[in-house]
Each structure stands twice: as C-alpha cells, then as structure tokens.
Structure 1
Amino acid sequence: MSIKVRLSIMMFLQFFVWGVFFVTMGTYLAKLFEGDDKINSLIGSSYATQTWAALFAPLIVGFLGDRYFNKERLNGLLHLLGAGLLWWVSTINDPTILFWALLTFFICYMPTLALVNTITFQNVDNVETDFPKIRLWGTIGWIVAGLAISESFFGLFAFPILPFIEGGGSTNAQFQVAAIVSAVYGIYSFTLPASPPEGKGEPVNLIKVLGFDAINLLRNPSYFVFAVCSFLICIPLAFYYARTGEFAGKMHFGDQTAGVMALGQVSEIFFMALVPFFLSKLGVKRMLLVGMLAWALRYALFGLMPSVGGMIVLGIVLHGICYDFFFVTGQLYTDRVAPREMRTSAQALLGLLTYGAGMLVGNYVLGWWGDRIKLDPSTKAGWEAGAEQFWLMPAGLAAGVSVLFFLAFWDKSSAAQSGPTDDKDSPEDASDNPETA
C-alpha cells in the first residue's frame, strides 16, 4: 500500500471519529438532561470543552510531538486514550462528570489535528500538490460519519452503513462507535511511516508555539481590524456548530439529521475549489464580508422560517460560503501579510483568536442566551416557540460584525486585493476546525 493511501486512510479515520458524534451530541444532551433548568448552559459548556482543549493543543504538540516522540506513535497513544474516554462518556449521566470526561477526551484529540498534518508533511514528496488530496479524505470521513450515524443518504433515503445503530444521533451509540473507530485508528497509527520529532534537543518556545511572536502583525491597522472581527464573528458562529443539529432534528429531520448536516461539508468541498476564482474577482475584503453576511443570513433563515425544512437545508448548504469565504480567505490573507519567518506563528495566532477564544466565548454565550429566553430544546414545540429569539440573536451579532468590518477594514495593498499567493513555503491546512472538517 502506497504512503499516500496510508495517509489518506489516516485522515479519513481522524475525522470520522470526530464527525460521528460532534454534530448530534447536542441532540443527545438535550434528551439526557431534559427538564434541567440549565439545559442550554449544559449543552454550551459541553461543546466548550472542545475549544478549551484547542487552547492547550499547541502546547502538547509543540512540547511532545516536536521534541520527544515520533508523531505517529504519539497520535496512536492519544487515540487509544481517547477511545477509552469516549466509551466512558457514553455511560455518564451526571453533567459535571460529563464535562470533565469530554474535556479530557478533547485534550487527547485536538493535538492530533496538527499531528496528522505534520505526519503528512514529513512523508510526501510534494506538500503543495499531495496534501490537499490527502486532506480531502478527512472531509470525506466526516461526511461518511454523518451518513453512518443518520442511517440515511443526506436525508434522502435510508442508507444503513452501520445497520446495528438505531436512533444513533439521540443515543449513546454515537460515542460507542467513535470509541471503537478511535481504538482501531490508534492501533493503525503505529503502522504509519516514521515521523521523528524535528525539534529534538531544542528548547520549547511557548511564545512561538502559541503564536504570540506574531503579535506585531496587529500593528498593521487593517490586520488588527481583521483579527478583532475574526474573534467577534466566531462568537455567533458557535451557535451553528453546537445547536443546529438538535434544532434541525427536532423541527424536521429526526434521526436523519446528521446525514442532512453532511450537506454542509459537500458544499464546503464545492466552494473550496472556487475560492481562487472568487478571490481573484472580489479581493479579500469582499470575500470576507460575503462570508460574514452568509452567517447572518443562515441564522435569519433558521429564526424566521423554522417550520420550512427547505430553508433549514439552505442554511446548512450555505456552509461552503460561510466557512470557505471567511476562514479560508482569512488564512490566505494572513499568509500574505505575515513575513515568511512568521507565517506559522501568524496562523497559530489566528487559530487562537477564532477556534480558541472566539468559539469559547460563543459556546458560553449560546448557553446563557438559551437559558435566558427559557428555550426548551428537548421538544419540537420548544424549538417552535423559541427559534426566532434564539437564532436572531446570533444573526444580529454577525450582521453587526459585518458592518464594523465593512467600515473599518481598508487595505489597498496587493495582499488584500489579489488572489492566493504562489509562494507556498509554509503550507497551512485550511480545514482543521469542527465542525467543518
């Protein structure tokens, strides 16, 4: 078996483990904690465990993976530990214990997102051409996970990939499937090509690992505006990743929800291919603005037309524009603005502001807001009564950030107006988030 095929299997399993439970976890939690006055905060804090772990992930990778252990072995060990933790999660019904169990799992899982990238970088001949093809299998893994747990083909017809699962999106079966696949993947990781630590014997620079040495980029007024707006827009973005699955499931799609949600990743693949074209035509500012406004439109559809299944599907399919036009364009812009020697740190800083701090705040805001409006997410009637209030809040936040960005961001440099750079000395993965895969 060729190295590229082995690495593609690695990527597939990496994102299958995450995708098989993360989309529908909110549905499971809403059922598990039905009747609890703080149910929305419990769901929000459970999803926040992933963002808390994302803050620690660079330290684990930088300290262990870059200096002490072969990356494929560390990846295998973390996934074996994660398998046990996921099975434990499937047995827990106490919210406090569940929080700490999920947090411990994600502390094991989140560093592996960077590990699989560096394993690939170290074992292919041409990173620029080989990595995107291998990484695509991660998104395919996320899609297949959604189809498997929903037992449907994008919600169109029955498609029992794992016929022993019934109602997987609302039961603990999703965690058990993830645990089994994680265990298999952990063992498989030890068969991957050797990827020795590249910084063995070198001191750990926490400032660089966290991306703080790129803080000077914020002296650029345009990049400062971009960074602030990136943080702010990720607050309402957390609403989608944590609550859309349970909302769509209760309103229309039931156990087929994960399959319908997988349409978002199909859209992501389609629009990813179009990013270079649109970027050359629109430039960075308009691309980012369209991405932000798409988030506002998505939430408006959810809030104003919750009873129309087609509008919910449209909001999900908008994911390609929401994610690619904002996150991918932002990463390309960062790569252009940052000096060559600072590109990796700049991407780390951007990730810290968005997937770390922004999403973290957003997960707690969505929990607080749901409890404040007394949203009952455990029933269709509860969502019918609360959908407008719940979803129009993040729609307003996204629209407000869009206006701020439109008024304050103004960069006439080629970095902001032209298409993707041809200088790819420091390739970065544009799809390591959650929810997007």
Structure 2
Amino acid sequence: MNTGLRIQLSLMMFLQYFIWGSWYVTLGTYLLQTLKFTGEQNGLAYGAFAIAAIVAPFFVGMIADRFFATQKVLGILHIIGAGFMFLLTLINDFPTFYICLFVYTLCYTPTMALTNSICFRQLEKPGEQMPGIRVLGTVGWIAAGLFIDFLGVGTQATPMLIASVASLVLGFYCFSLPHTPPVKKEGPVTIREVLGLDALALMKNPSFAILVIASVLVCIPLSFYYSSANVFLVEAGVENVTSKMALGQASELIFMLLMPLFFVRLGVKKMMLLGMAAWIARYLLFAYGNNETAVWMFYGGILLHGICYDFFFLMGQIYVDNKAPVHLKSAAQGMITLATYGIGMLIGTWLSGKVVDAYSVTTNEVVSHQWQQIWMVPAFLSVGVLILFALFFREKEEKKKVSVQA
C-alpha cells in the first residue's frame, strides 16, 4: 500500500471518530447536569443513535453499493450532519432536541459502515492492513477527549459545536478520497435491494448468524457504559473525566495493534468470549471502586476498553468483510452496525434509562445516583450472555468431536 493512500484513509478515520468522540462521551453529563433532563430522557437520547443505526445503514449501503460513489455519499452525509449538530447547541427542550439529534444520527450512523467499506475496497490485504488504518480512528477519539478537557467544556454544548465543525471539514475532505465507485450489477432494482434484505442471506451461515446475535446481546449491557460512565465518574469526584476516559481508547489502540498475535493464538470464538468477560470485569470495577481508596478500579475499568472493543467489534468488522460478496460489502457492514449500535443499543439505552431513574436520589434539587446498584445490572446481564455463548460454543465443539470419532 502506497504512503499517500495510507495517509488519506488514516485521516478519514481520524476525523470520523474525532467527531463521534467529541459529543458522544459528554452528552449524558450535558443532558443530566446542564439541561436537567431525566435519566429516561438521557436513555432515549442515546437510543436515537440506536434507532438510526437500524433505519439508515442498509439503505445507504445499498446506494453506495449500486448507484453512487461511496466517498460522495459519505461527504454529503457529513455535511448535512454538521448542520443538525450545530442546531443541537441551540436547543434546550427535550422533544426538539430529540428530533434534531435523531436526524443527525440518521446522517452519522451510516458513515461508520461507509468508511469501513472504502478502506476494504481500497486496501489490497484488508485483514492485515485495516487495523493500522482503523487505529487512527482511536487516536481521533482520544484527541477529542483531550481537547475537550483542555478547554474545560465537558458540561457545556461546546463539544457538539466542535463535532459540527469537524463534520463539515470531513464532509468536504471526503470528495478528495480515492474514487470508490458502486459495484455495478445487472438487472432492475428490487425492493429487497432497497431495504438491504439481500444481506440477510448471510445469516444462513451459522458463524455469521452467531456473530450477529452475540452483537445484539452484548450491546444491551454495553449501553450502560456509553450513556452513564461519564456522569458516573463526574459524580464520583474524578477530575478531567473526558481525557481520563480517553485512556480506554489508548488501550484500544494498543490491543488493536496486538490483534493479529491474539488471533493466531486464540481464534475468533475465544477472542469474542474474552471480550465479553472483560465487560463483566469493567462493570464490577465501576461498582466497587471509589475516588478515595480504590480509584485504581476506575482506571482499571476504563483501560479494559481495549479488550472489550477490539476483541469483539473490530474482529466482527473484518469477519463480515471476508464473508460478504463484493456487491454486498457495504450492506453487510450496515448489518453489523445494525446489530451492534442498532438493536442491542436500542434495548440497552431504554433499559439503562429506566435503571438510572430507579436508583436516582434528589436532595435540594440536586440529583445523585446509587451507582453500585446501577453497575451491577449490566454486570449480571453480561454474565448471562457469556454463559449462553460459552455453552453454545462448547456444544458445537462436542458435536465436532462426535463427528470425527464416528
């Protein structure tokens, strides 16, 4: 791969995740502490991202696969998204905020699949080269957190303004990316293509189906972390929370580079199970940590993000690209986005909002939360998911042994 292409794709990934990291981490704190929204409203706001992940990626993936160059679709979505993200900085009532946020997420969620699609189409050896490109996305997320903490605006609307500007920059930059034309296919457009239903044929592959189901289930408890970790650490008295949470992305960066080594030694199934176990450990560390005598538990929970994310989500993206036929690659990336940030996160954000409200206490108009009880909920859910899939994988191994002996 030539240096110019690497730089172009790396910068794309940096800006893609700089945008997301700018507003997503601090949104809960802004909504709960600054705008005084309820825990349920906070959950619904994060759920807008999940609903958009269900609605948008298949349709946009089909457009990029068949009708328009992927980099152009990507650029237009980011430019439109920049406008709606700017509007969010001016709104302080929940119904209007939610509608505007939902429209923004309709623009943003497909871009995660499209950036992956561009990389996989342009790289000669995606399995080997993709981690080195995707790692710049992690650097972008870290940079966003450090920048926001440097400005000291984590509880304000400024992070959304930063995301708006970055989205506009990336939108125009996308038109300079390598041309990624649609994969032409003979015959008329069908309803199945428009709805992205052709990609569902991949579910006939048992391993692919397992990945999708696991992605849905593991993202239910995962949503507790995304919607509540920032405000939890703020209430616990941790300073410069956004930059400290960026340590999780630093861990992600390290494990991303080590992934090929782990893959050779462990394989897909064991890496998935290890990633699930890491989520359980994270929730327990948050539940029993404190800022006086056990602050190390907070840092431990944050640093586990590398195993949690890389061993499950990035591995899934690479696996999907390997399994999907050429004309369905964008739609297939959209499917895994739907499973992870769509269905699972939608259920999880609703549940997390309910749980946060159930364990909230208001004293003199100041809202606090019983975080130990809150974090035990996703911990128990994750244990259930881990046991379910450990038993499933064991059953498949036993069937293989019986087949070999026969």
Please tell me the TM-score bracket, short chain as reference.
Answer: 0.7 to 0.9
By how many angstroms is 1:124 displaced? 4.7
Q: Which residue of 2 aligns with 1:104?
A: 103
Distance in 2 (alpha carbons) for counterparts of 1:58 and 1:263? 29
**What is the TM-score with the length of structure 1 in the denominator?**
0.80
By how many angstroms is 1:284 displaced? 4.1
Q: Which residue of 1 aligns with 2:287?
A: 303
By how many angstroms is 1:240 displaced? 0.7
By how many angstroms is 1:331 displaced? 5.4
By how many angstroms is 1:184 displaced? 1.9
2:49 corresponds to which letter in structure 1? Q
By how many angstroms is 1:196 displaced? 2.7
1:239 corresponds to which letter in structure 2? F
By how many angstroms is 1:120 displaced? 3.3
Q: Give unmatched runs, 5+ long, in structure 1.
A: 152-164, 416-437
Q: Which residue of 1 aligns with 2:339?
A: 353
Residue number among 325, 341, 358 corresponding to 1:372 in the alignment: 358
CA deviations 1:120-156 (Å, max 9, x no partner) are 34445554554433322222111111111111xxxxx
Distance in 1 (alpha carbons) for counterparts of 2:40 and 2:10? 37
CA deviations 1:176-218 (Å, max 9, x no partner) are 111112122222222333333323776252465573112323x
Distance in 2 (alpha carbons) for counterparts of 1:319 and 1:24? 17
SS at match of 1:252: coil
CA deviations 1:54-83 (Å, max 9, x no partner) are 112323323432333332222222111111
Change (3 A) 1:350 1:83: closer
1:88 corresponds to which letter in structure 2? L
By how many angstroms is 1:45 displaced? 0.8
Distance in 1 (alpha carbons) for counterparts of 2:71 and 2:215? 32
Q: Give unmatched runs, 5+ long, in structure 2.
A: 401-406
Q: Which residue of 2 aligns with 1:69?
A: 68
Distance in 1 (alpha carbons) for counterparts of 2:18 and 2:126? 23
Residue 5 of structure 2 corresponds to residue 6 of structure 1 = no
Q: Which residue of 1 aligns with 2:277?
A: 293
Distance in 1 (alpha carbons) for counterparts of 2:303 and 2:88? 31
By how many angstroms is 1:374 displaced? 2.7
Distance in 2 (alpha carbons) for counterparts of 1:275 and 1:413? 27
2:386 corresponds to which letter in structure 1? S
Residue number among 239, 249, 253 corresponding to 2:224 in the alignment: 239
Q: Which residue of 2 aligns with 1:406?
A: 390
1:309 corresponds to which letter in structure 2? V
SS at match of 1:203: coil
Residue 254 of structure 2 corresponds to residue 270 of structure 1 = yes
Give matches, 1:144-293, under 5 Å: 144-151=143-150, 165=151, 167-199=152-184, 203-204=189-190, 205-206=193-194, 208=196, 211-217=199-205, 220=206, 227-254=212-239, 256-293=240-277
Change (3 A) 1:329 1:380: farther
Distance in 1 (alpha carbons) for counterparts of 2:137 and 2:272? 25
Q: Which residue of 2 aligns with 1:432?
A: none
Distance in 1 (alpha carbons) for counterparts of 2:326 and 2:263? 25
Distance in 2 (alpha carbons) for counterparts of 1:378 and 1:292? 40
Change (3 A) 1:207 1:184: closer
By how many angstroms is 1:266 displaced? 1.1
Residue pair 2:83, 2:164 contacting (<8 A) in 1 also:
yes
Q: Which residue of 2 aligns with 1:425?
A: none
Distance in 2 (alpha carbons) for counterparts of 1:340 and 1:413? 31
Residue 303 of structure 2 corresponds to residue 317 of structure 1 = yes
Q: Which residue of 1 aligns with 2:89?
A: 90
Q: Which residue of 2 aligns with 1:159?
A: none
Q: Percent identity?
A: 38
Residue pair 1:210, 1:348 contacting (<8 A) in 2 also:
no
Aligned-residue RMSD, C-alpha: 3.2
CA deviations 1:63-115 (Å, max 9, x no partner) are 43233333222222211111111110011101111111111001111122222
Residue 40 of structure 2 corresponds to residue 41 of structure 1 = yes
**What is the TM-score with the length of structure 2 in the denominator?**
0.85
Which structure: greater helix fraction? Answer: 2
Residue pair 2:202, 2:324 contacting (<8 A) in 1 also:
no
